[in-house]
Amino acid sequence: MSAYVTDTHALLWHLSGDPLLSAPAADIFCQTDAGLAEIVIPSIVLVEVVYLCERQRVPDDRIERILALPDQPGSRYRVAPLDEAVVRALRRIPRAHAPDMPDRIIGATALCLGLPLITRDSKLIGSQLLTCVW
């Protein structure tokens, strides 16, 4: 079974049905919803969504929907902690490739787990440090 790490925007766009989500990324989310793939949500994504809810940039229910994903029967979503292994991987991603710390942490989570990253972030895609899907 294929597994992927998601960034914040991709996950939010999937949950809202936003057309900004690319067809390949949407397909991965659909496969995951059908139990045919797995998506790892970096814990920093949860923090970013809380922040976006507080700033009223996304609906208030979004964080609850994301937190509920891993608990649904047959769910193929899981949350990855920000732990020492991710911090070690973070040091392998130059700031020039991801100037925003949350983006670096998301990239480091994918690097640490050895999984492709679902992202539209052009700097991470161009870094060639990660396998990215968009």
> What integer pLDDT is reported at residue 79 of this predicted model?
98
The residue segments making up the domain with residue 120 are 2-133
Rounded Cα distance between 112 and 85, Å, is 6
Q: Domain count of the chain?
A: 1
| 17-44 pLDDT tens trace | 999 999 999 999 999 999 999 999 999 9
List the structure tokens of 18: 């936003």
Closest by CA to 86, choosing from 106, 61, 66, 57, is 106
Instruction: Please give the distance of CA 54 from its chain centroid, rounded to a whole number.
Output: 20
Phi, psi of 32 (to 5 degrees): -65, -45
Strand partners, 79: 41
- pLDDT above 90: residue 116: yes
CATH number reported for the structural domain that contains residue 75 in this entry: 3.40.50.1010
